Amino acid sequence: MSALPAFLRRGFSHGVHPAGFKDRTADLPIQRMPFVGRYVMPLNQHLGAPAIPVVEVGDSVRRGQLIAEPGAFVSTSLHSPVTGRVAAIANRRFPGGVFARSIEIAADPYATQRLDPRPPADWRDLTSDDFVAQVQRAGIVGMGGAAFPSHVKYSIPEGQRIDHLLVNGAECEPFLTNDHRLMVERPDALLRGIEIILHNLGIQEATIGVELNKPDAISALQRQLTPSQPVSVVPLEVKYPQGAEKMLIKAIYNMEVPAGELPRDLGIAVNNVGTVVAIADWFETGAPLIERIVTVSGPGVENPSNLIVPLGTPVREVLNYCGGLKDGPIELIMGGPMMGMPIASLDVPVLKGTSGILAFTEGSDFRPREYPCIRCGRCLEACPYFLNPSRLARLAKARLYAEMKDYFVMDCVECGSCTYSCPSRIPIVQLIRSAKSQLRQQGADDP
C-alpha cells in the first residue's frame, strides 16, 4: 500500500497543539561547536546492554577510534569524540540524577582533531548480515531521542519482509529544530542514506514525513529528489505527538500497529532523519557516530542555536558557548519540553539521544496549583492511544497499580498530552510514569 493522496489521508486521532516556539532557532544555520577540555562517554547512553570499554586509563585515543564495543546484540559501539587520552573509566553524572559508568577523555589541546576515517566496504556489495554489523560497528542509534540501536531494527527475522521505509522528519516537539535544519542543509545526505537503507534491506519505497511547519525543509527535499527515486515527501498536519512512531504510521499509511507489536510486523521500518544521515556518513566517509546536532533553546538561554556538538561534551560547555544562562532559577531539559528529561547538573554530557538542551526560567505557571479532577474529559480527547488518563491518574494516586493494568497503562508512551491538556493541572503523565516503573519493578520481583 502506498501513501494515500493528501485529501484521502487521515492523520492520527486526538493529540494536542502546543505552541511551537521553533521560530527562535528555525532559521539559524547549524554551527560546529569548538572542542573543549573534557568529554564523558557514558557506556549506557543507548537502550539495551551497556557497551564494554576496549581502552584503558592512560591510553591515547584518536578522534573516531573505537573505545567501547557492544555488550550484547541490543547494544552498540562507542567512539572517541576527540583525540586525547583516556582520563578515567568511572561513574559520571547522567541525566535523571543518577551516575553511570563512563569513559572520560581529556582532549589533547595540541591535536588537530582531524577525523581520519576509513570508508567501509562499498555498501552495494554487502550481505544483509554485514550491513547490520556495519551499522552496529558505527554506533548508530535512533537520533530522535530514544537512542535505540538502529542495527536491531535492520535485522529482520526469518520470514518477515520490510516493504516501506518511513523517514521521520515530523519533529513535533516544541522548540526543537535540529531535524528541521538537517533537512534544510543536508537533503542530499538524507536521500543518499535512504538509498543505502533501501538497497540493503531490499525495500522498494521510502516516505519522508515532515510537519507542515517546515515548508523550507519540504521544498529542500523536493528540489533534491529526482523522479526516478522511489521516495516521496509527505507534508503532515502540525500536531503533537505526530513524530511518535505509531502515530506517524497511522498518519501516513492509515495502519494501527497492534499493541505489543513492532512497525516491522507491518512491514515498515521507521527511522529518524538524523539516523538516516548518520548511516550515509558512515558508509560514504567512514565517520562513526561521534557528534550530533543539538538545538539549544528555551527562554533561559542567551543565544539559542543549532549546534553540531561532539558527543560527551558537558552541558555546561554547550551553554557557555551559547552565551550562558539567564539569571534566576533554571530548569534544564534534555530533549523536548514534552518528553525530555530534566537534568540535575551542568556536568551531564551530551549523549547520542540528546536532540535538544532547553532552559526554562521559573514563570508564574511553572509549578501551578493543582485542582481536583472535574472529569472534564480533555485528557481523553488528547490521548493518542485512546487511554483514559483521568481514570489512570485517579488509580495511580490511590496506588491501585494492578488495576491500572486493566486500563492498559503499559500501552502509554508517556507523550504527556494528558498533562498538557489538564485544566486542573494534575501531573497525569508523571503519575502514570511512576506507576509504570512500580509495575515493572513488581514484575521483576515476582517473575
Partner 1 sequence: MSTKDPRLLLQAAPLLKQHLTTRGAMLDVLLALLPATLAGLWFFGLSGLLVLSASILGSIVTEWFFTPQDARRRHLLDGSGFLTGLLLGLTLPPSLPLWMAFLGGAVSIGLGKLIWGGLGQNLFNPALVGRAFLLATFPNAMTTWSPAGGPGDFFRLHASNLAMPFMHVEYDGVSAATPLGMMKFDQQDTSLSNLLIGNTAGCIGETSGLLLLLGGVYMVWRRVIDWRIPTSILASVAALATVFFLVDPETYPGPLFSIFAGSLLIGAFYMATDPVSSPITPRGAWLFGIGIGLLVILIRFFGGFPEGVMYAILLMNAATPLIDRYTQPRVFGRGRAPR
Q: Which of residues 63-122 bind partner 1 (CB under 8 A)?
A: 97
φ, ψ for residue 39 (rounded to 5)? -130, 140
Say which residue the cell 529526482 belongs to.
226
- 409 DSSP 8-state letter: G
Q: Is residue 316 involved in binding partner 1 (CB under 8 A)? A: yes
Contact residue for partner 1 among 27, 121, 128, 371 (CB under 8 A): 371
Least Å from the CB of residue 245 to partner 1: 12
The residues facing 270 across adjacent strands are: 166
Least Å from the CB of residue 411 to partner 1: 6
Our CB check for partner 1 shows the closer of 304 and 340 to be 340
Quote the CA–CA distance of 194 and 203 in Å, as a whole number. 10
Our CB check for partner 1 shows the closer of 132 and 343 to be 343
Contact residue for partner 1 among 135, 184, 287, 339 (CB under 8 A): 339
Q: Is residue 16 involved in binding partner 1 (CB under 8 A)? A: yes
* 192 and 233 Cβ atoms separated by less than 8 Å: no
Quote the CA–CA distance of 250 and 86 in Å, as a whole number. 46
Least Å from the CB of residue 377 to partner 1: 5
List the grid coordinates of 99: 551516575
x/- mask, partner 1, residues 263-302, rule CB under 8 A, reads ----------------------------------------
Q: Which helix (H) or strand (E) holds 129?
A: helix 128-137
Q: Which of residues 233-252 bind partner 1 (CB under 8 A)?
A: 246, 250
Q: Which of residues 173-212 bind partner 1 (CB under 8 A)?
A: 174
Say which residue the cell 543536508 belongs to.
186
Q: Is residue 380 involved in binding partner 1 (CB under 8 A)? A: yes
Our CB check for partner 1 shows the closer of 196 and 422 to be 422
Residue 72 CA, chain-centre distance (Å), reads 21
Q: Is residue 23 involved in binding partner 1 (CB under 8 A)? A: no
Taking Cα atoms as reference points, which of 106, 33, 79, 34 lies closest to residue 293? 33
Longest dimension (CA), the chain: 63
Question: How big is the site for partner 1, counted in residues (CB under 8 A)?
Answer: 76
Contact residue for partner 1 among 4, 90, 212, 376 (CB under 8 A): 376
Quote the CA–CA distance of 74 and 72 in Å, as a whole number. 5
Q: Which of residues 426-445 bind partner 1 (CB under 8 A)?
A: 427, 429-430, 433
Contact residue for partner 1 among 10, 112, 369, 447 (CB under 8 A): 369
Quote the CA–CA distance of 182 and 30 in Å, as a whole number. 8
Contacts of 182 (CB under 8 A, 6+ apart): 30, 190, 273, 274, 277, 293
Least Å from the CB of residue 99 to partner 1: 16
Our CB check for partner 1 shows the closer of 158 and 365 to be 365
Q: Is residue 425 involved in binding partner 1 (CB under 8 A)? A: yes
The residues facing 333 across adjacent strands are: 342, 358
* 167 and 273 Cβ atoms separated by less than 8 Å: yes
Least Å from the CB of residue 331 to partner 1: 4
